[in-house]
């Protein structure tokens, strides 16, 4: 009978791991605890990040998003994982050293008869083994490392692309908030003007100068402006919540924004913009590295036909309780070569070549997509710019028309209904001007994004009060 002795510390560690794994999972408790803790922690983080008196501009919002956005943080983790995978692949070039230890106890003890001496009894034997391996000729390791190196570069590019897309989303949400805030202020002014007009018409209706239904019509306009203002307030609240979520902060918090210099589209002809996009767009730079990865996969498939050589060094050491033992060094080369595996290596080589061709086609498809996106964004910016000019001119004309109609109404030259209709036209023109400016900013940000020029190199602001 042979007993294998295991160290008590090892037994205790394995027992603790087993007991930890056997603990039951209370899903309701975990969900309840997270539902209680996460909103509170997020609210505290938001309060620390955005003080109540702080006002944020576009640069501030993008900077906070690049720090806290969950998609950006996830992409950064994936980039770190890709770097670790590359380091793991590099380990194939380094020697591998294994150490083995075993302790045997014989029950009953083994008695060995020795010539001209008393028999020797062996009850315990320890075995210590050293083994080292080193890859000498294995081309696949080089190609595998090159694949992981390209993969780490792709992960960094994906992180930058995620940051650019996050910055675009923040930009769109920021200008939407500013647009809705401007609309709300305009509606507040319109409500005040509508209330004043209704009061005047009530007075005229009381004097019998105009029918009472015209005063009621003015009251309906007041109600319509009030309803529209409340709807805009709710939309603004939702837009700010969306912006806070993009910043990785609590959507239930309050945020105050300030207007900054508007975005300006890049200059140059359409051909220049397309050429610049083909140079800097992250999707195309990722496609380049995917092509290289597919090339390395072809090389790996080809390397499967070649022999693999490994150097080895082996030293077993067995010691009994009397100190006697044997020590031998074993070293040499070990090689393997696939002779026949059901044509799997041949078919894998053919498949790798097809995947390489596919990667070329995918890059061409991505290139055409980027060119089309630049064209679409360029035309959208041009149309939005024209719409801004048209909407602003229409609003100025509508404003002058309302002033003239109001003066004629006071002189009794036009009726109240006509005045209200002119006022409604001015309100619509104002809303269209605000919307046109918002659409122009969004289209400009989109054009910059499809060209790979969305700014993400933000640094922490310097606090002069600490100096």
pLDDT band at 323 (very low <50, low <70, confident <90, very high): very low
Q: Which residue has the higher pLDDT, 163 or 330?
A: 163
Beta strand ranges found along 113-165 (DSSP E): 120-137
Average pLDDT (286-295) is 94
Beta strand ranges found along 196-284 (DSSP E): none
- The alpha carbon of residue 50 and the mean position of all alpha carbons in its chain are separated, in whole angstroms, by 22
Residue 333 lies in a domain: no
Average pLDDT (304-313) is 85
Residue 109 lies in a domain: no
> What's the pLDDT score for residue 366?
95
> What's the pLDDT score for residue 21?
55
Taking the C-alpha atoms of residue 270 and residue 359, their distance in angstroms, rounded to an integer, is: 28
Query: What is the DSSP code (8-state) at residue 56?
Result: B
Average pLDDT over all residues of the chain:
85
Nearest to 349 by CA among 298, 295, 383: 298
Taking the C-alpha atoms of residue 423 and residue 436, their distance in angstroms, rounded to an integer, is: 20
CB-CB contact of 365 with 291 (8 Å): no
Residue 318 lies in a domain: no
Q: Which residue has the higher pLDDT, 12 or 399?
A: 399
> What's the pLDDT score for residue 1?
40
User: What is each CA distance from 1 to 110, 127, 128, 444, in whole angstroms?
Assistant: 10, 18, 21, 82
Is the pLDDT at 29 greater than 70? The verdict is: yes
Residue 195 lies in a domain: yes
> What's the pLDDT score for residue 4?
45
Nearest to 194 by CA among 223, 214, 233, 232: 223
Q: Provide the 10 A C-beta neighbour count for residue 446.
A: 21
β-strands 308-320, 330-336 pairing: antiparallel
Interacting residues of 317 by C-beta distance below 8 A, sequence separation 6+: 127, 128, 129, 130, 325, 326, 327
Average pLDDT (386-394) is 94
Residue 119 lies in a domain: no
> What's the pLDDT score for residue 261?
83
Residue 16 lies in a domain: no
Residue 10 lies in a domain: no
Cβ density class 335-344: b for 16+ within 10 Å, e for less: eeeeeeeeee
CB-CB contact of 140 with 300 (8 Å): yes
Domain count, the chain: 1
Could you report the per-residue pLDDT of 350-364, keeping only the tens digit for each? 999 999 999 999 999
Full domain range(s) for residue 357: 39-96+138-307+343-456
Nearest to 174 by CA among 69, 258, 70: 258
- For residue 13 the two structure tokens come to 């560690």
Residue 17 lies in a domain: no
Cβ density class 23-41: b for 16+ within 10 Å, e for less: eeeeeeeeeeeeeeeeeee
Could you report the per-residue pLDDT of 85-106, keeping only the tens digit for each? 999 888 888 888 888 877 767 6
Range in 7-16, 197-206, 258-267 the model is least confident about: 7-16
Q: Which residue has the higher pLDDT, 215 or 21?
A: 215
Could you report the per-residue pLDDT of 163-205, keeping only the tens digit for each? 999 999 999 999 999 999 999 988 888 888 888 888 888 888 8
The domain that holds 89 is classified in CATH as: 1.20.1600.10
Average pLDDT (39-67) is 91
């Amino acid at each position: 009978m042979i007993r294998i002795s295991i160290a008590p510390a090892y037994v205790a560690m394995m027992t603790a791991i087993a007991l930890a794994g056997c603990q039951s999972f209370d899903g309701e408790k975990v969900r309840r605890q997270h539902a209680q803790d996460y909103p509170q922690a997020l609210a505290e983080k938001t309060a620390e990040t955005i003080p109540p008196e702080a006002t944020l501009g576009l640069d501030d919002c993008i900077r906070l998003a690049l720090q806290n956005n969950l998609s950006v943080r996830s992409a950064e983790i994936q980039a770190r994982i890709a770097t670790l995978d590359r380091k793991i692949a590099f380990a194939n070039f380094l020697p591998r050293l294994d150490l083995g230890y075993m302790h045997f106890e014989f029950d009953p003890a083994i008695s060995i008869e020795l010539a001209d001496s008393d028999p020797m009894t062996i009850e315990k034997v320890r075995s210590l083994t050293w083994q080292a391996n080193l890859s000498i000729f294995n081309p696949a390791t080089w190609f595998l490392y090159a694949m992981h190196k390209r993969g780490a570069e792709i992960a960094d590019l994906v992180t930058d692309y995620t940051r650019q897309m996050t910055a675009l989303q923040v930009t769109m949400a920021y200008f939407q908030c500013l647009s809705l805030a401007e609309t709300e202020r305009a509606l507040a002014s319109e409500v005040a003007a509508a209330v004043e007009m209704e009061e005047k018409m009530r007075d005229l209706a009381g004097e019998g100068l105009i029918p009472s239904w015209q005063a009621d019509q003015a009251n309906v306009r007041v109600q319509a402006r009030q309803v529209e203002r409340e709807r805009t307030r709710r939309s603004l609240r939702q837009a700010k919540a969306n912006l806070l979520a993009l910043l990785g902060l609590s959507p239930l918090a309050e945020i105050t924004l300030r207007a900054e210099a508007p975005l300006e589209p890049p200059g140059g002809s359409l051909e220049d913009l397309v050429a610049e996009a083909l140079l800097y767009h992250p999707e195309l730079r990722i496609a380049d590295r995917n092509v290289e990865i597919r090339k390395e996969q072809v090389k790996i498939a080809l390397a499967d036909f070649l022999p693999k050589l490994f150097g080895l060094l082996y030293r077993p050491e067995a010691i009994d309780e009397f100190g006697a033992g044997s020590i031998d060094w074993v070293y040499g080369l070990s090689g393997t070569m696939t002779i026949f595996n059901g044509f799997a290596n041949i078919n894998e080589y053919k498949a790798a070549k097809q995947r390489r061709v596919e990667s070329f086609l995918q890059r061409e498809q991505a290139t055409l997509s980027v060119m089309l996106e630049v064209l679409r964004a360029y035309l959208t910016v041009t149309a939005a710019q024209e719409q801004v000019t048209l909407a602003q001119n229409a609003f100025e004309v509508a404003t002058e028309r309302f002033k003239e109609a109001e003066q004629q109404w006071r002189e009794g030259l036009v009726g109240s209904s006509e005045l209200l209709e002119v006022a409604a036209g001015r309100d619509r023109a104002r809303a269209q001007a605000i919307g046109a400016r918002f659409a122009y900013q969004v289209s400009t940000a989109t054009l910059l994004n499809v060209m790979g020029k969305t700014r993400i190199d933000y640094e922490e602001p310097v606090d002069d009060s600490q100096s």
